[in-house]
Amino acid sequence: MKKIIYSLSILLAAYTTSIAQETPQTTEESSSFSNFFSQNMEYQVRAHFSIGGTSPLGLPKEIRSIESYNPTLQLGLEANATKWISDDSKWGVRVGLRFESKGMKTKADVKGYLTEIIQDNQKVRGYYTGKVQTTVKNTYITFPISAVYKVSSKWDVYGGLYFSGLIDKTFEGYVSDGYLRQNVPNGTKINFEEGARADYDFSSEVNRFQWGTQLGGEWKMNDHFRLFADATYGFNPVLNKDFQSISFSMHNIYLNLGFGYKF
């Protein structure tokens, strides 16, 4: 029994010594982890409004002219963190989380415009000539990732990628003051005159995932407040790639203007 107690005492002493030696290292690792999020870090909240639209690149031949454009009120809120990684704090990496809406209202004069309308509770696909009004309002949760460069004590520039998930969606409108050729450019003619119109709704075809690029700059008003502007462009189409009722691809192209507060 004495030998057992003696052996257990030696093992307990060895274990206690081992713990005592490991504890400073653990504390040091915890301190390093904490320092990573406190040293050379900037935390910021932002608010912005957007001007832009869901648009093709260039004006397709089907669209004769844009008669009206209303960017409507598109707002966004963002929280981000910037880690300065260079010794002189010139270069940094910024990640964030943003809730934002993107939308517009437009009215265009079109000719031979491929679309799909609702006529007598049925969907009719064809080529439309006349007026088309479109309303878009989509809401996203967005994860931006950017490289940041400190140009001067007052100016930073940044650029990178963003990845967005769709929360709410609207892509709808109506046609009026014209006619539709069913299925083919010389198909059966359906007239819309004297105030007659037909609605369309492509909301179910809005792509649930968006990704693209952003490029911008921010000006430091003082130690806390910032003014910024950035442009964003969506790489993938707003409508699903297998959607065939519009003949051209449409992308989110927006300019964001706003202010931020650095903690």
Per-residue pLDDT tens over the stretch 88-103: 889 999 999 999 999 9
> What single letter denotes the amino acid at residue 130?
G
Would you tell me how many other CB atoms lie within 10 Å of the CB of residue 115?
A: 22
Partnered with residue 121 across adjacent β-strands are none
pLDDT of amino acid 3:
45
Query: What per-residue confidence (pLDDT) applies to 16?
Result: 43
Q: Compute the residue count for the chain.
A: 263
Q: What is the pLDDT of residue 83?
A: 96
Query: What's residue 99's pLDDT?
Result: 98
Side-chain-side CA neighbours of 37 within 13 Å: the count stands at 6
pLDDT score recorded for residue 30: 53
Q: Is the pLDDT of residue 19 over 60?
A: no
Q: Which of 6-10, 39-43, 223-227 has the highest mean pLDDT?
A: 223-227
What's the whole-number mean pLDDT along residues 164-169?
98
Residues ≥6 apart with Cβ < 8 Å to 18: none
pLDDT of residue 194 exceeding 90: no
The C-alpha atoms of residue 172 and residue 157 are separated, in whole angstroms, by 37
Closest C-alpha to 179, from 170, 187, 171, 168: 187
Does the structure show a pLDDT above 90 at 2?
no
pLDDT of residue 58: 85
Three-state DSSP class for residue 89: coil
Rounded CA gap, 211 and 207, in Å? 11
Q: Is the pLDDT assigned to residue 257 strictly greater than 70?
A: yes
Instruction: For residue range 44-66, list pLDDT tens digits in order.
Output: 999 999 999 999 988 899 999 99
Could you tell me how far CA 43 lies from the centroid of its own chain? Answer: 20
Question: What is the per-residue pLDDT across 209-233, written as a single tens digit (0 to 9) for each?
Answer: 999 999 999 999 999 999 999 999 9
pLDDT score of 202 more than 70 = yes
The percent of residues in the chain predicted with pLDDT above 90, rounded, is: 75
Q: Name the least confident of 5-19, 93-107, 237-251.
A: 5-19
